[in-house]
Chain A
Amino acid sequence: MLRKISFAILSVAILVTGVIALRKLNYLDSSIWVFKLSSDKESERRIGHGFGEGAGRGRSEGFERSTRPGERPERPPMRELPDSIRGRFAGRGRGQGMRERNFTDSLRHEFPPEFRERGERIPPSGDFRNHNGRGRGDFREGRKINLSNVLWFLAVFASLTVITIYIDKAIKLICRKKKSRQSQ
């Protein structure tokens, strides 16, 4: 009996965590994002503000929403910004602008001198980032592994498993009762 009660408490705890995780991850909205996207496009096309057929991959990508529904646009952490930008934020509200402050820009050390001196942009290396790329989702060396989001996904996964186990048990119980009634 004690074992059953402890299992029931554990199951309720998993279910509650699962519901919290569903909200935190915006799970339902993300699950139907692709269906929403197609219906949005359909309505846009009807109104006449859509990208239209044959607008081309490049153009439509310019309008791309880079975040999942309900997810805030990702900003890089403050410590990963170059010194000059970091300084601009730090100087805000203290009457000190960018021009008044003299910063050493850590990014300059990475740029080849010919680009730095002429004030040119670094040419793009290509369409695909290499394994040292610094795009969204890249893992930089020295960064800690953060599994908090994975744990929320685990909570959703576990809660669905628990729900299925109990539904399966309930169905088995109903079938057994039906059989016993029929045999009587």
Chain B
Amino acid sequence: MIIMNSFKFILSLCITIVMLLLMDPRSFYGISFHEWAGLIIGLFFILHKILNWNWIKKVTLGFFRKCPGKARFNYLLDILMLAGITLMILSGIAIARTINFSWLNLGGTRMFWRAMHTSSSFITLALFGIHLGLHWNWVLQRLKLKKSDNAEEN
């Protein structure tokens, strides 16, 4: 359990750092890093969801019955984040320059996909911030700055 929690923590930290580095494609090793890391962050996100699958299952089954308000809010936020990341990766694929995704033939203008990429990434980063704020106690527990009071946090 401790190992699993540590792994979850390191994975979340990696996602946060990579996401911040991806926000400016010019700052950190250029566009090729941006595109590859963008694809990899998608895999990290899926792994993050798989690791918290029990929580997702529990809240999905009890969403309209006995479920705390915070868990419901977290669930909705997670759905929005999933949508944001999907749009971010899809639009990133449509405007990719170093990786050839032309065979996917996504259609639409480059301008539209660029606007979509910028907007979805900015909104998703904001959602990431809110998500971290809601799980702050869990972060403090992992850093051993706070004692674990219950197992409600995923």
Contacts and interface: CB of A to CB of B under 8 A. Distances in A.
Nearest to A129: B97
A138 interface: yes
B93 to A, nearest CB: 13
B20 A133 contact: no
Contacts of A27: 122
A147 B112 contact: no
A149 B24 contact: yes
B133 A163 contact: yes
Interface in A1-60: 27, 30-37, 57, 60
A157 interface: yes
Nearest to A144: B27
Interface string A152-178: 011011111111110110000000000
A156 B27 contact: no
Contact of B133 (A34, A60, A164): A164
Interface residues of B, number: 43
Contacts of B31: 133, 135, 137-139
A166 to B, nearest CB: 8
Nearest to A138: B30
Given A57-B110, A131-B32, A153-B24, A30 B119 contact: yes
B126 A156 contact: yes
Interface of B is mostly: helix
Interface stretch (A61-69, A86-94, A96-104, A116-124): A61-69
B115 to A, nearest CB: 4
Interface string B63-107: 000000010000000000000000000000000011010100001
B55 interface: no
Nearest to A27: B122
A27 B33 CA distance: 23
A156 B132 CA distance: 13
Given A31-B122, A147-B28, A57 B109 contact: yes
A61 B109 contact: yes
26 contacts: A30-B118, A57-B109, A57-B110, A60-B109, A64-B111, A128-B102, A131-B98, A135-B97, A136-B26, A137-B34, A138-B31, A140-B30, A145-B28, A150-B21, A154-B20, A157-B128, A160-B126, A160-B129, A161-B129, A161-B130, A161-B133, A161-B136, A164-B130, A164-B133, A164-B134, A168-B70
